Amino acid sequence: KKEELSTNIYMERRINRYIYYQLRELSRKAPLSIIQTIAYVWQFELEIKDIISIIESIRYDLPREEAKKFLVKVA
């Protein structure tokens, strides 16, 4: 059960990361379209998810390298 949950979390992160990079690319290709607004809203939502992941990793004393696995936008 734990392994399945871990797989689901990583899959969700991969999907979110894929969407993030696709929206970033589309924003560059079509600067004067509605995609700018859609990309902004999605990026804002992903930022919030990353902030929540950081807060939870601090709360549960996860090492930084382990915490990075849960972030969508890794620097």
Each residue of 13-67: pLDDT tens digit?
899 999 999 999 999 999 889 999 999 999 999 999 999 999 999 999 999 988 8
CA distances (Å), 38 to each of 7, 20, 45, 53, in order?
A: 28, 11, 11, 23
The pLDDT assigned to 74 comes to: 74
Task: Give the predicted TM-score (pTM) of the model.
Answer: 0.77
